[in-house]
Amino acid sequence: MTYFKLVLGLDCGVDKSVCQFGYPENCFNCLSKKFSDANFLMDIMEVIEQHSKQKRREIFYKHIWRKYHDISTIRHLIILSKAGLPAFNMAIGDLPIDAALISGFIHANVSFSSEELTYIDRINPEKKFYEFEYKNFHLLLCNGKLCRICLILNKKASTSLRELLLNFTDIVEENYEEKLHEFEETCELNILDPVKSLVIKSFDIIMTYPLTLSSQIPPNIVENFSIVQKAIYECTKDLLREDTYFFISHLITTTAKLLDVISNEEILWNIYRMIRENIIIWENLEFQGQEIESKKQEKQKRKHIILNFMEIKDLEQIIFECHDMSIEDAHKKINSSMKKGEIAEKNAAYQEALFEYQKALNYAKEFNMEIEIGDISFKILEIIKLNKKVELNFAMEQANKSEKRRDYVIALKYLFQIKDILTSENEDVDKDKQLQKLNNRIQRIQNHIQKINEN
């Protein structure tokens, strides 16, 4: 007789809250009878109740969410020899650190703590954790058989992070035993360099790094995205229009705004899957974390300053010209700019039209031409309104088309654009009614997305 071990999943078809056969006491006998009736001959059967598919998913969501928050607290990792020498150190956050200095601090604290160990503690082979405070940081150290591994954290370590460090210590000692012994003998600092890839993999610290989209995503992969992954993908493209990289925290925020009814935990889990499948990849930059953010803010500030400078430069040029200009020449300048603006307006080049009208307005202001100032200002307001109307009509058209072809993520993107345009309107008396109607439509589509996602 050939023996097989089968691992089977079975929906018994009965709601446990109203089970007439006696849940959970009689589940084993009930299932045994079902298999016997189906002509299965079994010597051994183990029955384990499983959570629902959705419940299992929620467990995964919470696990990745907890892990993301755990690794977000890590600023540095140091591997010490048993003698207390730094064998490997790696910056995970943006904390500059003197590995030799902090290694001495750690070794001194561990030595002091070890003096107070009892005899039972000393012969106990299990690993022991030490926790210290160093300046404004928390240190979590796992004392292994061959080495000590320390995490420098923003805050006190969670239980799950302690378990993660314990597992990592086991892996390091199992896979790098020879190299750890070699370091004890030679003290060569590059011996444990291969550990870096293990750190990245074990702690999933890529989730804290600047990210970008892979340039090699096959079309069939995009077509088979889930509804949540589709939203993440579209939000990622939007973020990359602003810069060459993004952070997970920003991506979660923008995706959550779009979907609303999908939890941040589920969004992160889908981002994590896209990272594991190399759809979202690590943008290898020379700097990290807060330094990236500060550079990004500095870049935006610089851009704003440059734009202001260009406007001031145009105005200064006009002021300089007006020193030796007659009022007749000023009228000619105004008429020339107005004609250029009107031509641009007819060609729907509204930004160019605004630029020309603004030039004309500056000339009028320099000569205190009150009538011209009023007329040109009115023209500028009309152009701004017209430009918004064109944007509004385009967004509405795209939203309607996207919803008709059931591309709900794209429809939501355009609906939020419409909402931004309407919110910026100050004089529209019907704005509140339009926004209420729009919010209802957004809510309806988001609820529909939730149903699709649950199925």
Distance CA 414, CA 396 (A): 7
- Kindly indicate the confidence band of residue 30, based on its pLDDT and cuts at 50, 70 and 90: confident
More confident residue, 310 or 391: 391
Region 293-302: what's the mean pLDDT? 51
**Integer angstrom CA distances of residue 362 from 189, 219, 306, 313, 355:** 66, 51, 19, 12, 11
Quote the mean pLDDT of the chain.
80
Cβ within 8 Å of residue 34, ≥6 positions away = 10, 12
- Which residues are 147's β-sheet partners? 81
Judging by beta carbons within 10 Å of its beta carbon (0-12, 13-18, 19+), is residue 52 exposed, middle or buried? Answer: exposed
Would you give the DSSP letter of residue 213? E
Residue among 65, 94, 223 nearest 152 (CA): 94
Residue type, 241: R
Distance CA 72, CA 76 (A): 11
Q: CA torsion angle for 239, 243, 244, 249 (degrees, to 10)?
A: -50
- Kindly indicate the confidence band of residue 319, based on its pLDDT and cuts at 50, 70 and 90: low
Contact 288, 207 (CB under 8 A): no
Query: What was the pLDDT predicted at 256?
Result: 95
Contact 287, 95 (CB under 8 A): no
Beta-strand pair 147-153/128-134? unpaired
Q: Residue 130: helix, strand or coil by DSSP? A: strand
Residue with tokens 């929906």, as numbered in its chain:
11
Contact 62, 265 (CB under 8 A): yes
Q: Tell me which long-range contacts 18-25 makes (C-beta under 8 A, separation of at least 24).
A: 24/49
Q: What is the largest CA-CA distance in the chain?
A: 111
Tens digit of pLDDT for each residue in 156-183?
999 889 989 998 999 999 999 999 999 8
Residue with tokens 């940081």, as numbered in its chain:
137
Q: Residue 80: helix, strand or coil by DSSP? A: strand
Report whether the peptide linkage leading into residue 194 is cis, meaning its omega lies within 30 degrees of zero. Answer: no
Query: What was the pLDDT predicted at 228?
Result: 95
Distance CA 83, CA 86 (A): 9
pLDDT above 80 for 434:
yes
Query: What was the pLDDT predicted at 109?
Result: 66
Contact 360, 380 (CB under 8 A): no
Residue among 243, 233, 230, 208 nearest 71 (CA): 208
Neighbours of 247 (CB within 10 A): 19
Distance CA 185, CA 81 (A): 11
Beta-strand pair 137-143/147-153? antiparallel
Would you give the DSSP letter of residue 158? P
Tens digit of pLDDT for each residue in 99-149?
667 766 776 666 545 444 433 344 444 457 888 887 788 889 898 889 989
Distance CA 87, CA 104 (A): 13
Distance CA 447, CA 427 (A): 32
- Which residues are 51's β-sheet partners? none
Q: Which CATH superfamily is domain 67-207 in?
A: Dynein light chain 2a, cytoplasmic (3.30.450.30)
DSSP H/E element including 441? helix 431-454
- Kindly indicate the confidence band of residue 353, based on its pLDDT and cuts at 50, 70 and 90: confident
